[in-house]
Amino acid sequence: MKNNKRFGFGIIGCGMIADFHANSILELEDDAELIGVADTVKDAALKFSSRYGVRCFESPGELLACPGIDIVCICTPSGYHADVAVAAARQGKNIIIEKPMGITKDQLDRIERACDESGVTVSSISQSRFSRSVRMARDAIREGRLGRIVCADAYMKFYRSQEYYDSGSWRGTKRLDGGGALMNQGIHGVDLLLYLAGDIVSVYAVSKTLTRRIEVEDTLACIVEYESGATGVIQATTSVFPGYPRRIEINGSDGTIALEETSVVKWDLGSGAQDIDVGGEFRSSASVPTEISPRYHTAQIKDVINALRTGTRPQIDQHEGRRAVDIILAIYRSAEEHRTVYIGED
């Protein structure tokens, strides 16, 4: 793969999140070049390509056939991620997939299989992992500074209006959104729990649709058990007004760390607090979907470029990227069947 030249990028899907990918690519101008975009809605692709001064491909297939494109960013509605990823892998394109990587086990399996067989590099967007505060928290946990982990919780009490769901025919549908507050908004919190606290072995959930006219949940609560023996709570909503920043709290026998979005708000370890910017500024999409920091998308795309240059795996490849979705699917199964579900059970 290229070592000195810039990598050519294409974007498939021209909705809101595609702007974050485009701006990150532009920021990485020494390493990356945005070649063009495609969308099944031609008007959306035309407007997007005009905004960034790049080529508008007639179709996703035409973009995937372009020899100048090395990496494809998949920013389509969630239910289409797998089809586009498999097609990209077959064309030998490296892939960056917006969250969630897929919305069913079959889709996740198809993506893994196609990418493994093609040997392409894949990364699933979990950009919060690239926050310095998140990484410092992980280091502290791994070094045992919290003692034995007792609780690991994620509270994602977001707000989305009915108008938000009505703005796209795919939003709030089982077929294309795959789920509601947890799959769409809450997935980053689930991913951070796995990143910080380790594997989850069982879940028990209650899921409801209380305030929105959608097919999927707007309110969910779940009790989780970790491989370490720790317990935790996951809450995800789009029903709580006015919406509050995501909060991750890790409690141990010797200390506690709490994050709001990607900012540390508690660092109670008895020592080391001087190294942490407690209560620093942060942005939150709790009420406004576009209010997320662009810096972490940039960091994750840079990680993919570095992996291609060095012949290594990106930090969040297709295998790591599916972990949060597998947990979410188990949570949905628990809520549907009204029982504890063990991760990996048939």
Stretch 190-196: mean pLDDT: 98
| b/e map 304-337, b = 16+ CB within 10 Å | bbebbeeeebbbbbbebbbbbbbbbbbbbebbee
pLDDT, residue 312, reads 97
Alpha helices in the chain (DSSP H): 16-27, 42-52, 60-64, 81-90, 105-118, 132-142, 162-166, 187-197, 295-310, 318-321, 323-337
Q: How far apart are CA 240 and CA 179, in angstroms?
A: 17
Residues 18 and 11: beta-carbon distance below 8 Å: yes
Within 8 A by CB and 6+ apart from 206, the residues are 220, 221, 222, 335
The amino acid sitting at 262 is: T
pLDDT, residue 274, reads 47
Both structure tokens of 47: 């407007």
The pairing of strands 341-342 and 7-12 is unpaired
pLDDT, residue 286, reads 63
pLDDT, residue 276, reads 61
The pairing of strands 219-226 and 231-237 is antiparallel
More confident residue, 217 or 291: 217
For 111-139, the pLDDT digits (tens) are: 999 999 999 999 999 999 999 999 999 99
For 83-114, the pLDDT digits (tens) are: 999 999 999 999 999 999 999 999 999 999 99
Within 8 A by CB and 6+ apart from 267, the residues are 257, 273, 276, 278
pLDDT, residue 290, reads 64
The per-residue pLDDT of the chain, averaged, comes to: 94
Query: If pLDDT is split at 50, 70 and 90, which confidence band does 174 have?
Result: very high
pLDDT, residue 294, reads 87
pLDDT, residue 285, reads 74
Check pLDDT > 90 for residue 281. no
